[in-house]
Amino acid sequence: MIQINNVSKWYGDFQVLADCSTSVKKGDVVVVCGPSGSGKSTLIKAINGLEPFQQGDIMVDGISVGDPKTNLSKLRSRVGMVFQNFELFPHMTVTQNLTIAQIKVLGRSEAEALEKGLKYLDRVGLISQKDKFPGQLSGGQQQRVAIARGLAMDPICMLFDEPTSALDPEMVGEVLDVMVKLAQEGMTMMCVTHEMGFARKVSNRVIFMDEGRIVEDCAKEDFFGNPDARSERAKNFLSKILAH
């Protein structure tokens, strides 16, 4: 479903992605981890064209992201994204947040968009908040609304960029629960996260990045279960984080 082929990206002289290649099949739940500055967020944002790249190509459901002739707007409407800082639209109610893209991009009627939006809002357990403004919600609630907003577009896959990094520890659980349910329902997910517990429980593959390169790209069982077979860098990383 997602094919990343030899992607490299530079910001001026600084290389932020170096020859990254991987693929994600339908139903895969891939966790991308690694130290800060390793390029994980950049890689995931490159998938839906939010970050342009200079070399290589990315294919999403057979459509090339790098091709200038591609209708990026249409492509992006099929790939859901959840951001670290939630990025709900603060001047709109929760309901309006959920329906605006459905109406403007997918061309659904207001009634249809409302029905879909509220259905997903209910799925994340926040139907009672439908008329509130984002500023009136807690971080965990905002992130769950953000997930519902992405789901309301009926995407083929969901990308998560450190969805719980900006949350209080107490709220991390409620968001992860939603993501676990989503994975169990068969959604294709690619998730940049530091939550290794989530990775162990729900993912089927782990990608480890360092300094713009994909250092490890293996099944979850191999990554966590067989640390000795992993590279030095990955072993180092695992020993530090699994100590918690």
* Site string (128-167) toward other proteins, x via CB under 8 A: -----x-xx------------xx--x--------------
Of 59 and 166, CB closest to other proteins: 166
- Residue given tokens 């109406």 in the structure block: 103
Which one of 26, 104, 201, 240 is in contact with other proteins (CB under 8 A)?
104
* Site string (5-24) toward other proteins, x via CB under 8 A: --------------------
* Site string (32-71) toward other proteins, x via CB under 8 A: -------------x--x-x---------------------
- Residue given tokens 């290589």 in the structure block: 56
Q: How far apart are CA 196 and CA 198, in angstroms?
A: 5
Residue 187 C-alpha from the chain's centroid: 12
Q: How far apart are CA 99 and CA 95, in angstroms?
A: 6
Q: What single DSSP character describes residue 78?
A: T
- Residue given tokens 């893209």 in the structure block: 101
Contact flag: residue 183 with other proteins (CB under 8 A): no
Enclosing H/E stretch for 81? strand 79-82
Q: Which of 224, 216, 234 lies closest to 197, judged by CA?
A: 224
Binding region for other proteins (CB under 8 A): 45, 48, 50, 73-81, 83, 85, 87-91, 100-101, 104-106, 133, 135-136, 149-150, 153
